[in-house]
Amino acid sequence: MDLTDPVRLPEPLRNNTTTQNLAAGETLFTQEDEASTFYVVTSGRIKLVRYTSGGQVSTFEIVRASQSLAEIALFADTYPCTAISEIDSEVIAYPKEELLSVLRAYPDLAEDFMEMLVKKIQSLKFRLELRDIRIAHERVLHYLRHLISFPEETTIVLDRPLKDIAGDLGFTPETISRALIRLETDGEIARQENIITLQR
């Protein structure tokens, strides 16, 4: 069973599933809102951000097509972050109680859901590993290598503004620009606008 395809889901869940379209910049849910819904992105890109008491904004995660968000809704009363559509996006909305009930009744779907959570944990682990790399150009290179889907691939097309990627990596736009220049100078990458080719 596939949570990205409601048509193939058990009827009790399928009948309670809705699709939401979001314009770029539109908020899906806000930090501290009641956590009543689990989502899967079918197209576009959703940014999860957290607002601190000091007024700072921290990017928690970027969720792309076929990925889930708001898993915490199944186990918590409120959302711990705010979800904002970076570009025009579409999400499938699964009501919390109906999804929990179906997961208990259908082991295959529960297994798919656990696999989805494992992938999310792996992604968060990678983000923590990145923050442990102190040298800017090495962190950027590690990030770029992570974007490669298959070992034989060498070309990356950045689909987000460099300033947004810089924020994800904990850098200013100036720092990531200097890091990319360093990687070009060292022969690690070749760059043409938003297209980057790994050279080694």
On the question of pLDDT at 88 being above 90, the answer is: yes
Class of domain 6-131: mainly beta
Q: Cβ(105)–Cβ(10) under 8 Å?
A: yes
Please give the C-alpha separations between residue 39 and each of 3, 79, 150, 158, in angstroms, as whole numbers: 9, 12, 27, 25
On the question of pLDDT at 123 being above 70, the answer is: yes
User: 3.30.70.1060, 1.20.1050.10, 3.30.43.10, 1.10.10.10: which CATH number matches 133-198?
Assistant: 1.10.10.10
Q: Helices 162-169 and 173-185 meet at what angle, rounded to 10? A: 100
SS in 3 state form for 8-51? Answer: HCCHHHHCCCEEEEECCCCEEECCCCECCEEEEEEECEEEEEEE
Instruction: Tell me the pLDDT band of 108, cut-offs 50, 70 and 90.
Output: confident
CA atoms of 38 and 70, how far apart (whole Å) = 5
Instruction: Tell me the pLDDT band of 182, cut-offs 50, 70 and 90.
Output: very high
Domain spans of the chain, in order of start: 6-131, 133-198
Give me the phi and psi of 76, to 5 degrees please: -135, 165
On the question of pLDDT at 15 being above 70, the answer is: yes
CA atoms of 98 and 16, how far apart (whole Å) = 7
For the chain, what percent of residues have pLDDT higher than 70? Answer: 100
Instruction: Tell me the pLDDT band of 54, cut-offs 50, 70 and 90.
Output: confident
Predicted confidence at residue 1, as pLDDT, reads 63
Give the mean pLDDT of 138-151: 88
pTM above 0.75, yes or no: yes
Instruction: Tell me the pLDDT band of 17, cut-offs 50, 70 and 90.
Output: very high
